[in-house]
Amino acid sequence: MIDRRILRGDLLDFTEDPGFVAPHEAQGVRYRPDHLILMDAGRIVSVQPAQDALPDSWQNVAQSDHRGRLILPGFIDTHVHCPQLDVIASFGAELLDWLNTYTFPAERRYVDPAVSYDGAQRFLAALWAHGTTSAVVFPTVHKVSAEALFETAARQHMRLITGKVLMDRHAPDGLRDDVDQAEKDCVDLIDRWHGQDRQAFAVTVRFAPTSTPEQLRMAGRLCQTYAGTYMQTHVAENRAEVQWVADLFPTARSYLDVYDRDGLIGPRAVLAHGIWLDECDRAVLRDSGAQIAHSPSSNLFLGSGLFDWATAQKEGVKVSLASDVGGGTSLSMLRNIGDAYKIQALQGTRLTAWKALYTATLGAANHLGLSHEIGRIEPGCMADLAVWQWAVGPVATHRDTLAQRSLHERLFAWMTLGDERNLISTWIAGRPVYEAPLAEV
């Protein structure tokens, strides 16, 4: 009975992509006020109105009563860097300067197993404290940094996708590997972790400039050899980066083509940013089923550019949402959604609460091939959930009282004004991994 738990609250999830349409035209929104979620052995076994009688075998199961609060599937962050918590909110650099000035010195410390394990625990706990229950994560070039993430996530049965970073050039001492040893490390990590519990391996190319052509070919072989593994990297984030790639790979048609020609682009490829792609690139992404991990706060903070989400959607490209900490300024998906709204507004597109929240939950799950497990409040899915207050503080509380003419208006106000302070608790596999201090509730 210890694995049996019941959550009560107002449930919001999605059954399909609402699209870029007016709020009242959206499809696939599922709102179930005052419902119970019955959880057993880490999974959702039933969802029912609170007024309905419980099955006899559930009569004495403890309930967490959150009447009047919002319960969503846990957020899915599709691109984030564990070691970069050390450099979040660092001043005054564009992408390439950022890497050399802040990121690489921080990552070099993760050769120490104690630093890697301490960093993994701090990082995952921080994700949970922001309502994120699944993530696609960059560790460092050091094998131990990936091992630390896998082990720490597995203890809580968290869905995690990660893998040792590949970098064999254009990086400082202590952050370069070599092709042969990197391949051995990746194969060992795949054998030990991929498909174990809820862990999955991602072939992790830092970005094209830091891998030799030989290493890129090796990475492509890994993707083709080990079915079910993911691939994560960066693409077309910054104009200076795009030009550097063109100089390094003069025979490639484009930055994306550097990856595609070596077999790295497929339905399990997660490419961060994708701001400076052209129509041909987007066709490759559409046809392959690869996704762009849109990282709004990072793009704004580093001055990288404005991602045209509406065009990507129109041309059939899959898009998920990501915090990209530490270029991103918060692990809060709500804050990143707020930045995404502004980026789209600057280009004449209005991002609804429906589309934004779908993308951070079921949309990401669909793109990762994991909608049977995460992203929905549905029997059979894992009980990865987050409980939220509608408003915190006098301004948001006042706005909330006036925003109840429609669910979308209320939700948009919550999404725009809310952040991790609104979070009551985070649940992974049916158990709480974060609960707000009483003073915050």
Q: Are strands 199-205 and 230-235 parallel, antiparallel or unpaired?
A: parallel
Q: Kindly provide the b/e burial profile for residues 331-355, where b requires at least 16 CB atoms within 10 angstroms of the residue's own CB.
A: bbbbbbbbbbbebbeeeebebbbbb
Is 292 inside any structural domain?
Answer: yes
Q: What is the pLDDT of residue 277?
A: 98
At 415, the amino acid letter reads M
356 domain-assigned: yes
- What are the tokens at 310? 């509406």
How many CB atoms are located within 10 Å of the residue 115 CB?
Answer: 20
Percentage, residues of the chain above pLDDT 90: 94
Q: Is residue 178 part of a domain?
A: yes
Q: Taking the C-alpha atoms of 323, 325, 328 and 334 in order, what is their torsion angle to the nearest 10 degrees?
A: 40
Q: What is the pLDDT of residues 364-423, one digit of tens each?
A: 999 999 999 999 999 999 999 999 999 999 999 999 999 999 999 999 999 999 999 999
Distance of CA 11 to CAs 46, 69, 391, Å? 13, 9, 16
Residue 372 lies in a domain: no
Query: Residue 315: is it exposed, middle or buried by C-beta count within 10 angstroms (0-12/13-18/19+)?
Result: middle
Condensed to tens digits (0 to 9), the pLDDT of residues 150-165 reads 999 999 999 999 999 9
For residues 302 and 334, is the Cβ–Cβ distance under 8 A? no
The structure tokens 């079915």 sit at 227
Q: Rounded distance, CA 22 to CA 303, Å?
A: 29
Structural domain contains residue 230: yes
Tell the residue number behind the tokens 């970073």, with chain if given: 165
Residue in the structure block whose two tokens are 């993308």: 359
The answer to whether residues 11 and 304 touch, using CB atoms and an 8 Å cutoff, is no
Question: Which CATH number does the domain housing residue 222 bear?
Answer: 3.20.20.140
Q: What is the pLDDT of residue 440?
A: 58
Kindly report, residue by residue over 60-103, the tens digit of the pLDDT. Answer: 999 999 999 999 999 999 999 999 999 999 887 787 887 888 88
3-class secondary-structure state, position 236: coil
Higher-pLDDT residue of 250, 91: 250
- The reported pLDDT for the residue numbered 322 is 98
pLDDT value for 2: 62
At 406, phi and psi to the nearest 5?
Answer: -145, 155
pLDDT of residue 1: 43
**What mean pLDDT value characterizes the chain?**
96
- Residue 320 CA: distances (Å) to CA of 32, 86, 291, 292, 333: 25, 25, 7, 6, 11
43-52, 102-111, 329-338: least confidently modelled range: 102-111
Q: Total domain count for the chain?
A: 1
CA 269: distance to chain centroid? 13
CB atoms inside a 10 Å sphere around CB 409 = 15
Q: Which two tokens stand for residue 418?
A: 């809310």
Q: For the residues 34-47, what does the mean pLDDT come to?
A: 97
Contacts with 97 (C-beta within 8 Å, 6 or more apart), sequence order: none
Residue 3's pLDDT is: 84
- Give the range of the structural domain holding residue 145, as residue numbers without chain letter: 75-367
| Amino acid letter, 326 | G
Residue 309, in any domain of the structure: yes
Q: What is the CA radius of gyration of the chain?
A: 21
Tell me the three state secondary structure of residue 135.
Answer: strand
Residue 53 per-residue DSSP state: P
- Residue for token digits 């894992």? 382
Contacts of 396 (CB under 8 A, 6+ apart): 413, 414, 417, 418
* Cα angle for residues 150, 356, 234 (degrees, 5° grid): 50
| % of the chain surpassing 70 pLDDT | 99
- Which sign does the torsion angle of CA 167, 169, 172, 174 carry? positive
Residue 391 inside a domain? The answer is no
